[in-house]
Structure 1
């Protein structure tokens, strides 16, 4: 039972991490198009969340 819950949480964390990375790429493209500094904070935040959730997914999967 615990293993099943852990696997589900790992999959959810991985999906959130991949979504964060996609948001990072989209924000980076918008920043390059518009030449604005606003998107720089957005894509660094998305990248940080992406890495955080991917590490969490790996830690949950190892348990």
Structure 2
């Protein structure tokens, strides 16, 4: 299973997350955005395990 972190939760993120959910063995584990309201919208629409308003959190986990 490949785990993905997405930085940004705007309109383009919707397209990325939609594609990620359609690919076997690929999972969106993290989404980072500066606005909590954007993260809330994403988690209502997609299955994402973790969200953060600090992209450095993703960097620490994956690297």
The TM-score, its normalising length taken from structure 2, stands at: 0.32
Which structure has the larger Rg over C-alpha atoms?
1
Higher relative contact order (CA 8 A, sep 6+): 1
Task: Determine which structure has the larger helix proportion and give its number.
Answer: 1
The TM-score, its normalising length taken from structure 1, stands at: 0.32
